Amino acid sequence: MKIAFFTETFLPKVDGIVTRLTKTVRHLVEAGDEVIVFCPEGCPDEYMGARLIGVPAMPLPLYPELKLALPRPAVSEAIDSFQPDLIHVVNPAVLGLGGIWLAKSKSIPLIASYHTHLPKYLEHYGMGMLEPLLWELLKAAHNQALLNLCTSTAMVQELSDKGIQNTDLWQRGVDTDLFRPELRSDTMRARLLGGHDDRGALLLYVGRLSAEKQIERIRPVLETLPDARLALVGDGPHRQQLEKHFEGTATTFVGYLAGEELAGAYASGDAFLFPSSTETLGLVLLEAMAAGCPVVGANRGGIPDIISDGVNGCLYEPDGADGGAASLIEASQRLLGNAAERQSLRSAARSEAERWGWAGATEQLRGYYRQVLERELSAAA
C-alpha cells in the first residue's frame, strides 16, 4: 500500500502522538508499504524509509510548541507525484484540513484518527465556552472520513455520542524492549532527586508541562507523604507557573529525556503519578508500566482502558470540590503503603504492557486500511 499521512505534529517534537506515528511508520515500511508524511517544517527529510515533507508553519500563540502548518501548492504536487492509495489525517486542524480537501478533490480514500482531546483542553486555557463550537468543527472534519480511529474505548464512545460517524478502536502499543525494569539505577535516581536526599518515595511525572495536564494536583500528595520527592520529566509552556507552584518543595525539574535515559527514569521511580483527566489514552502510563513503575491515573478518558484499579495500578476520581486532591492522595497512599502489594502491582503492570506491541497495533491499522480500500473497490464496481 501507498499511504500519505498528514499530521499537525511530528519530529523533532516529542509527545505521545509522535511516538505512535514514528513506531507506525517504521512498522508500515518494514511490512513493505510506501509512506510519505506531511508535517510542520523542521523535520528530517526521511525517517525509517519514509519520506517526510515539512510544510512552513507558525507557532500557536497559546501553545508555542504546537505549530500550525498551512497547506501549499507543493503539497498537492507531492500527492500527485506519490499517488497514494489512501490518505490518513492525524488530529486534523490546519494541515490536516488540507489533507481532507486533497483526499476529496482527488477521490482518494480518507481515514482520520483522534489523539488529543482538544475540547476538554479549552477550559484550562479560559475558553471553555467554545467547546460546543469546537465539537461542531471536529464533527464536520471527521465526518469526511470513511473511518475515524480512536485510541481508547472511551473516545470511541464519546466521538460517537457527539455525532462523529464510523468510529473504531486503534489499539495501544508500547516498546517493552526499551522500557523495562532492569534499567533501574542509583545514578538515574540521584539525577531525578536533583540533590535532595533519598529518604522517602520518589514520585515521577513524565510528559508535557502544560495546563491541561493538571500537574498542580501532585503537590498535596507530595506534602502528605512523609519525605516524598517529586521529579517532573519533560518541558512545556506551563513550566514557569509550575516552578512557582512547587517552590519550597522537594521537586526536581529534569527537562526532556529520551531513549534509555527516559526508560531508566521510569524504572527508577517508586510511583508514577499522572493526574490529567483529559487523556485519550495516556501512552506514558504504558511506558511506566512496562518499566515496572507502579502508576496512579485518573478514572477518566482512555486511562481506565490501561489501569485496572488495584490490579496493575490505582485510579483516582478527579472531580470534586477539592479538584480530586483527596482521592489522588488516597490512591497514592494505597499504592505506596505496602511493599508486597506494590511489587504485585509492578509485576501485573509489566505483564499488561507486554500484551501491547507496536507491531500488533500497526498490523491492526493495516487491516483497517485494507478494509477501507476493499469497500471502495466494491463500491466502484
Q: For position 306, what pLDDT does the model report?
A: 94
Report which of 27, 76, 19, 16 is spatially closest to residue 50, judged by C-alpha positions. Answer: 27
Give the containing element (helix H, strand E) for 79: helix 73-82
Residues 284 and 207 sit within 8 Å (Cβ to Cβ):
yes
Round to whole Å and give the CA distance between 193 and 31.
Answer: 43
**227 SS3 class:** coil
Q: For position 230, what pLDDT does the model report?
A: 98
Residues 202 and 231 sit within 8 Å (Cβ to Cβ):
yes
Residues 60 and 76 sit within 8 Å (Cβ to Cβ):
no
Q: For position 338, what pLDDT does the model report?
A: 85
| Residue type present at position 116 | T
Residues 188 and 293 sit within 8 Å (Cβ to Cβ):
no
Q: For position 58, what pLDDT does the model report?
A: 85
| 90-110 residues labelled b (16+ CB within 10 A) or e (exposed) | bbbbbbbbbbbebbeeeebbb
Q: Inter-axis angle of helices 73-82 and 95-105, to 10 degrees?
A: 50
Length of the chain equals: 381
The per-residue DSSP string of 297-345 comes to: EESSTTHHHH--BTTTBEEE---STTTTHHHHHHHHHHHHS-HHHHHHH
pLDDT in tens, 127-184: 777 788 888 999 999 999 999 999 999 999 999 999 999 999 999 999 999 999 999 9
Report which of 153, 149, 179 is spatially closest to residue 164, judged by C-alpha positions. Answer: 149
CA distances (Å), origin 162, targets 93, 137, 250, 273: 18, 11, 43, 30
**24 SS3 class:** helix
- Residues (pLDDT < 70) of the chain are 61-65, 119, 121-126
CB atoms < 10 A from the CB of 279, how many?
A: 29
The domain limits of the chain are 2-173+357-380, 181-353
Round to whole Å and give the CA distance between 49 and 114.
Answer: 25
pLDDT in tens, 88-124: 999 998 899 999 999 999 999 999 999 987 767 666 6
Q: For position 119, what pLDDT does the model report?
A: 66
Q: For position 118, what pLDDT does the model report?
A: 75
Burial class (CB in 10 A: 0-12, 13-18, 19+), 51: middle
Contacts of 61 (CB under 8 A, 6+ apart): none
Q: Is the dihedral of CA 120, 121, 123, 127 positive or negative?
A: negative
Does 2-173+357-380 match 181-353 in CATH topology? yes
Q: What is the pTM of this model?
A: 0.90
Q: Which fold has domain 181-353?
A: Rossmann fold (3.40.50)
Domain 2-173+357-380 homologous superfamily, CATH = Glycogen Phosphorylase B; (3.40.50.2000)
